[in-house]
């Protein structure tokens, strides 16, 4: 079933891309005859001209029973819902007389009917899955909402699983994603702004924001950046994020991409803006701060002491993941005096057998780790397990026995890997991987001094970063004490009376101060 859908999509994309070029060729000729004609055969011919090599374009000609007019219905197979067309469009038009005598109205049981009179509008709506009804003698065509493209069932978010959170993830249909968020925030203050981006395949981009909370300046900034885009098409949210980022040269992600409706809703309530890109299962949350990448939706449904502990653990893991291999190199190559004497003697014993300098040793292991991880991500699940075996047994055991890498290095790599798996956000994990290598290089050249300088540069960089014009380093720098309630620890929910300052909410009260305490108090 899934395969079938995939095939359809592929075929559709194939046709679609071929069509793009032919339409470009005809662009000049088209301009003067953009409006449709009153004569049906001419329109049908024009349709054939517009989509010359599109066998999935269906044009069905028939007579409308009610008025006796000749008509044609055009739609793309696969993009439109066949059942809806058969039962709600073709059947009533061909066989039902209808009760009213209104000239215009068709007795169609479909939702919105839109009249169009230019070919460019028709093109856009036919590609979005609507079917177009041409009637002989009328200078307008009707776009009927019969959209029904291949869809995936709503399932568990793959990249962000959670223990307590909802088990629904976003899907590839923007409208459904909006609906999922609306289920969490059923309030008319949830405003949606629709934008289009992309020349060849206009991608529908919806900006969701709490109207009374989101800062208009931030919203305007985001809107401006999206509307200034000049690209062919936006396939995925990640592309949009990269195109509108404040600093694309930074290793750090500046927007949160999430697959979780509950996470997106929670961010909305903090005053942030959610961007839904049609056809992409992840949504973009802006503006984002550094600490936001260490929060997980589970933090709020676990008891606060435990989630605070886990959060601190994540920050610790961040530093371990960045620094540990670098620290190993620095200690072995420069600053021996910092190793406790007993560990020192042990390392000395192991190091004596290894033919490579520490930096090469560390690079070999870290690259192996990165390759194993990448291999694990791309491999289908049943084969993916072999990676664990290969990694665990072959690389872990054999490499030490062969005397290529020493035991301590294997421990260091394992620690780093575990530490980076703890981080809840994939983009942040990816940044950590890059920074780790930079730290290793700095350590191999300058030892501890290199690491210290590296950290200073890193911190300076984080402080200077902005996400949508709001400071990335908040609440650490600029220092905002009230936001610390949900940064390194998560204080009890009844303490989070205000929305975070870093989201620049214009209405900051989140909840009252009362908490039922039992005993009738």
Partner 1 sequence: MSRRLLVAFIVLAVAFMTGCYDRVDMENVAFPLTLGLDLDEKEDLIVYVIEPVFGEKIKKKSNEIAVKAQSLRQARGEFDRYSMGVFIGRQIQQILVGRRVLQHDGWFQLLDVFYRDAKNSLTPTVIAVDGPVSEFISLHSEDKPILPLFLNGMIESKSSYSETVKADLQDLHHQMFEKGITPVVSEIKYKKDVYLEGTTLLDHKGVYAASLNKDETIFLNILKKKSDIAHLSFNIPGVSAESPLVTGLLSFTVSEADTKIKTSFRDDRFRFEIKVDMPITLTERVFSYHVEKNKKDLEEIIAKQAEQKMIKLIKKIQKAKIDPIGLGLYARAYEYKSYKRVEEHWGEALSGAEIDVTVDVTITGSGPVR
Tell me the two tokens of residue 101.
């005598």
Tell me the two tokens of residue 390.
């290969």
Q: Which 3 state secondary structure label does DSSP give 155?
A: coil
* DSSP line for 345-358: HHHHHHHTT--S-H
Return the closest-CA partner of residue 206 out of 270, 283, 93, 296.
283
The correct pick among 107, 345, 393, 434 for binding partner 1 (CB under 8 A) is: 345
> For the chain, what percentages of helix, strand and coil (3-state, to nearest 5) are there?
50, 15, 35
Given the rule CB under 8 A, which of 50-58, 165-173, 309-317, 327-335 is the region that contacts partner 1? Answer: 327-335
The correct pick among 342, 378, 517, 521 for binding partner 1 (CB under 8 A) is: 342
Q: Does 445 contact partner 1 by CB under 8 A?
A: yes
Return the closest-CA partner of residue 271 out of 511, 512, 506.
506
Q: Does 447 contact partner 1 by CB under 8 A?
A: yes
Q: Which 3 state secondary structure label does DSSP give 365?
A: helix
Least distance (Å) between residue 323 CB and partner 1: 18
Nearer to partner 1, 345 or 456 (CB): 345
Given the rule CB under 8 A, which of 40-48, 346-354, 393-401, 484-492 is the region that contacts partner 1? Answer: 346-354
Nearer to partner 1, 304 or 344 (CB): 344
Least distance (Å) between residue 468 CB and partner 1: 24
Are 247 and 233 within 8 A, CB to CB? no
The correct pick among 198, 281, 326, 358 for binding partner 1 (CB under 8 A) is: 358
The correct pick among 114, 120, 308, 333 for binding partner 1 (CB under 8 A) is: 333
Q: Does 446 contact partner 1 by CB under 8 A?
A: yes
Count of residues that interact with partner 1, criterion CB under 8 A:
23
Q: Which 3 state secondary structure label does DSSP give 296?
A: coil
Counts of helices then strands in the chain (DSSP H, E): 17, 12
Bridge partners for 254 per DSSP? none
Q: Does 210 contact partner 1 by CB under 8 A?
A: no
Continuous H helices in 188-275 = 216-227, 237-244, 261-269
Binding mask 118-157 for partner 1 (x = CB under 8 A): ----------------------------------------
Q: Does 347 contact partner 1 by CB under 8 A?
A: yes
Least distance (Å) between residue 344 CB and partner 1: 6
To the nearest 10 degrees (0 to 180), the angle between helices 237-244 and 216-227 is 110
Which stretches of the chain bind partner 1, using CB under 8 A? 332-334, 336-337, 339, 341-342, 344-345, 347-349, 351-354, 357-358, 444-447
């Amino acid at each position: 079933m899934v395969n079938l859908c995939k095939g359809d999509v592929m075929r559709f994309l194939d046709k679609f891309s071929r069509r793009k070029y032919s339409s470009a060729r005809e662009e000049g000729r088209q301009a003067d005859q953009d409006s449709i004609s009153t004569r049906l055969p001419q329109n049908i011919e024009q349709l054939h001209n517009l989509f010359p090599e599109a066998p999935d374009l269906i044009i069905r000609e028939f007579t409308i029973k009610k008025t006796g007019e000749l008509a044609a219905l055009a739609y793309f197979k696969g993009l439109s819902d066949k059942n809806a067309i058969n039962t709600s469009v073709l059947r009533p038009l061909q066989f039902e007389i209808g009760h009213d005598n209104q000239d215009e109205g068709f007795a169609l049981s479909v939702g919105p009917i839109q009249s169009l009179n230019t070919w460019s509008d028709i093109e856009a709506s036919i590609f979005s899955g609507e079917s177009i009804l041409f009637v002989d003698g009328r200078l307008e065509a009707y776009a009927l909402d019969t959209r029904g493209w291949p869809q995936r069932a709503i399932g568990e978010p793959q990249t962000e699983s959670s223990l307590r959170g909802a088990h629904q993830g976003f899907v590839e249909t923007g409208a459904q994603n909006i609906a999922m968020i609306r289920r969490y925030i059923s309030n008319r203050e949830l405003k949606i702004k629709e934008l289009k981006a992309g020349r060849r395949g206009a991608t529908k981009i919806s900006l969701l924001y709490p109207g009374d909370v989101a800062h208009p300046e931030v919203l305007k900034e985001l809107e401006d950046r999206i509307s200034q885009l000049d690209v062919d098409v936006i396939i995925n949210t990640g592309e949009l994020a990269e195109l509108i980022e404040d600093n694309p040269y930074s290793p750090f992600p500046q927007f949160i991409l999430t697959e979780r409706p509950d996470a997106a809703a929670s961010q909305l309530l903090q005053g942030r803006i959610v961007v839904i890109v049609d056809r992409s299962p992840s949504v973009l949350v802006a503006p984002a701060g550094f600490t936001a990448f260490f929060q997980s939706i589970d933090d709020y449904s676990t008891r606060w002491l435990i989630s605070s502990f886990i959060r601190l653990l994540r920050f610790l893991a961040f530093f371990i993941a960045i620094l540990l291999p670098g620290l190993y190199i620095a200690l072995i190559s420069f600053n021996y005096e910092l190793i406790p004497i007993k560990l020192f003697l042990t390392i000395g014993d192991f190091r004596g057998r290894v033919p490579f300098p520490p930096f090469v040793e560390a690079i070999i292991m870290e690259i192996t780790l990165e390759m194993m991880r990448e291999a694990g991500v791309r491999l289908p699940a049943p084969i993916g397990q072999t990676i664990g075996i290969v990694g665990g047994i072959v690389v872990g055991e054999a490499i030490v026995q062969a005397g290529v890498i020493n035991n301590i290095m294997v421990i260091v790599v394992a620690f780093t890997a575990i530490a980076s798996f703890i981080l809840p956000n994939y983009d942040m994990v990816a940044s950590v991987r890059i920074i780790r290598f930079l730290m290793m290089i700095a350590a191999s050249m300058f030892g501890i001094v290199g690491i210290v300088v590296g950290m200073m540069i890193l911190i300076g960089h984080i402080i200077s970063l902005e996400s949508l014009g709001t400071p990335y380093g908040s609440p650490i720098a600029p220092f905002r004490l009230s936001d610390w309630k949900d940064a390194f620890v998560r204080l009890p929910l009844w303490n989070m009376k205000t929305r975070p300052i870093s989201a620049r909410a214009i209405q900051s009260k989140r909840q009252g101060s009362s908490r039922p305490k039992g005993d009738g108090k």
